[in-house]
Each structure stands twice: as C-alpha cells, then as structure tokens.
Structure 1
C-alpha cells in the first residue's frame, strides 16, 4: 500500500482558460516528487479545521511560499518582509504541531522549514543580504551545502551537496528540540532536524525542483511506510 503524503498548498488568485478566480495552488513538481518516491500525494489547502487529517495521512510535506508573519514569533516586520497570509500561517502551524504530536513523518521545504522552527518556538532572520540566496528573481541559486557528521540529512545526502536555493529569510533562534544540521558557505542554516527517533526534517532549499534527486522524498516516504506498518501492526495486535 502506498503511503498517503499530504502536501500543504496556498490560496492565490489564478488564471486559466476563461477563468480568473481564487485557487488552491501548488507547483506540480511537489506532486511528481512524492509520486516518483513511491507515495500518493494529497493536496491540503488552508482551511478551518484539521479534523481527522493526521489520523489519515502517513506523512506530511510543508511546502514553500510566502513569508511567515513575524508576529507569530514576536517580532516587528522588516521592510522587506512580505505581507502576512494569516489563514495559511494559522493552518500550517496547527497542522504541523498536530502532525508532530502524532509522530507523523514531516518534511519542511523552504518556508516549510521556517514554519517548523516557528511552530517549536524559534524565530527567523527576516532578510538576508541582497544577492546572497535569492538573486536573480525567479531563478533558483545553486548553493553548496555542508551537512553535519552523524546527522539524518548527512545519512541521506552525504557530507556535501549542491542544492537549489531561493529564499531571503533564514532560521534565527532554533525552536525547541531542533538542531541545525546543514549550512551554506556564508553560515546560513540550510537544514534542521528534530531530536528523537521520528522523522522531522526541514531544508531551506527546494528539493522538488530537481526530480533527478529524490533522496529526501524517498526518505520521507520510507519513514511514512514504517509508520504505516507500525500502525497496522498495532491494529492487528489489538
């Protein structure tokens, strides 16, 4: 049985065919990455309640996107911080906390890593020096990342890896139970992991943009399969 991997989406004005209206959006590369890695993608737009989602899902990807509202970590907005998306922040923070509480395997991508950090009480650097990790606009920046010895990210990707970055914010104070496990040459935190045996990993880059390297999505899917097998064993033993 393929594990069900939820992927958060966002509500934006969109245009297709003769229509122009609000839509729940996600770059299709996320879906393709999950499918190629052996999972079934379930798209999760911001909504009012989490309900039974964490009971139904086997894993969760918190996707990239807009800046997290600085009020969520007790800061005033930087002039370069984007307008807050309150509904998405509320939804993703609640969903992520519920997923972590339930032991669901989690992968945070770019904004998703930042949401993970904020959900656990950390904060963010609201703007990195111009031209460092988001230049030119709309183009992913090839970045060399060094991983920590003995970390989960190192076991998946190795000691050094080239990744596709596009971000102007970064991790500041680490959230409770999180450890920095990868850095770019300028010292910016590029990956975090949560303590414990569960799979909770965030990367500041965009692995979904390189479908020739599915190792992160495969690791998430493998953790979801283990979680699914464990739940099935509990039911059968019960």
Structure 2
C-alpha cells in the first residue's frame, strides 16, 4: 500500500480581498514549498479560534509551517503596549498559532517558522519582539524596498547570516555563513525559554532559531525560505529536513494506530 504524504498545516492569514471580502490565505510559494521541496500535502490552518480546535489540528497534521505575513503579533502577547510602530494585527491568527506552537512541541510534531513564523515561535515560548529593528543602535534596515513590485528585487539576497558553529541550522545546511533574503521590520528582542539562537545577521539581528529539547525539527528563520525552495541549496536543505521530520511523525502515528 502506498503511504500517504504527510499533512502540513500552513498558517493562514486574514486578508481583505478586493478591499471588502475577508478571506483566509497562504502564499502560493509557501504551499508549493511544502508540496515540492518537502514532499508533503499542505492544508491551510485558518486563524479562526472558535473553529480551529488545537486538538483536532494535532490529530490531522504531521507538522506545521508558520508563514510570513503583513500583520504582526499583537504586542500584548508578549507584555508590551500597542503603538503605531507595531503596524497591523491578525488577532485570529495569534489566537490559533501561538497555543498551537506549544501543543505541537509537546506532541513532538515538527515546526518550521518563516519570517513572522520565527517571531511567533519566540513569543509562544515567552520571548519578546522589537517593532522596528532598524531603530536599534547599529542595526540596518531589513525592510523590503518601498513600492517595489519585482519579486526578483524584493526577494534578492541582501546580507550574510553567521550560523552558530555546530548548531542545528549550520549542520542541516552544511555551512557556517550564508546570504539570505531577509525582509522584516520587527524582529526577535529577548529570546524565549528554550529558544536557541542559531544565526545572526552582520548587525546582530537574530535570523535563525531552534527550540531546545524539541523531539523533531523545530526551526525558525527570519528570511523567506519559501522563495526558490527547490533550487536554493540552503532553502532546499531546510525543507527536506522538515519534510523528513513530518514523514517520521506520520509513520510513528500510523504504527501507534495499528498497534
């Protein structure tokens, strides 16, 4: 019998289609990366806390991809007051994804956080975020070029990231320095409990983390690993490792069910 592909829950974001119609959406590159680079089946997890029940998601999914998004984690989630610098919010996504992270870690399911996703992982484990990294002393502007529409320009590689020698990310990608397509305004400030810094930009901004004592893949990156996921060697290595962890989780689930 052919074994089914692992199911990956992909965090959806609430957007207004045509300025008036609320939808839950995930970018095509995220879905394609799950399907093609990780060889898994993507399904969108809606930011609907009254309907997206955590226990059901854990039973349905073999891993979770936490995507990027325009909206930011609401600062009240990490004990800060809201300001204009914090930008827009997606309260529904906060209410689903933040508790899902802890539950998935406890269940031993793999997690891959990309852009906003790394920030969600940090907040879920008790860490904080800074609303404007570029305003910190010595930091550079990590935001995308304003008004740019050309994706080759938007997602071009911008700066090096030094990976922790011997760390989980360095081991997976086979390098201790890479160049990334990081695009963000917010960033990790105080790391949460169990959050291990795996990589920093040349200005000291946290660009990669792992979660200590996670039973399977639990990595967050501040850059857009969904871009060129099958061809870029660094991105491909991360997606393959994520997919392998999801397959392992799915196989073990099947074995428990058959016992």
TM-score (ref. length: structure 2)? 0.85
Aligned to 2:219: 201
Matches within 5 A, 1:1-238: 1-15=4-18, 21-37=21-37, 38-47=39-48, 48=50, 49-50=52-53, 51-65=55-69, 66-129=71-134, 132-137=141-146, 138=148, 139-140=154-155, 142-157=158-173, 158-196=175-213, 197-211=215-229, 212-213=231-232, 214-236=236-258, 238=259
Q: CA RMSD in A?
A: 1.7
Count of matched residue pairs:
234
- What SS class does the counterpart of residue 207 from structure 1 fall into? coil
**1:71-95 deviations in Å (ceiling 9; x for gaps):** 1111123432113321121111122
- What SS class does the counterpart of residue 239 from structure 2 fall into? helix
- Unmatched tracts of structure 1, length 5 or more: none
Contact 1:64–1:111 (CA under 8 A) maintained in structure 2: yes
Contact 1:78–1:127 (CA under 8 A) maintained in structure 2: no
| Cα shift at 1:20 | 5.2
- What SS class does the counterpart of residue 129 from structure 1 fall into? helix
Work out the CA distance in 2 between the residues paired with 1:21 and 1:215: 37
Work out the CA distance in 2 between the residues paired with 1:85 and 1:234: 36
**1:10-46 deviations in Å (ceiling 9; x for gaps):** 111113xxx9521111210011111112111111111
Work out the CA distance in 1 between the residues paired with 2:132 and 2:211: 24
- Unmatched tracts of structure 2, length 5 or more: 149-153
Structure 1 window deviating more from structure 2 (119-128 vs 70-79): it is 70-79
Contact 2:161–2:201 (CA under 8 A) maintained in structure 1: yes
**1:125-158 deviations in Å (ceiling 9; x for gaps):** 1111166201413523522111111211111222
Normalized per residue, which structure has more strand?
A: 1
Work out the CA distance in 1 between the residues paired with 2:176 and 2:74: 33
Residue 135 to residue 57, structure 1, CA distance change in 2 (3 Å): closer
**1:199-227 deviations in Å (ceiling 9; x for gaps):** 21111111112232222221110001111
- What SS class does the counterpart of residue 202 from structure 1 fall into? strand
Work out the CA distance in 2 between the residues paired with 1:204 and 1:30: 14
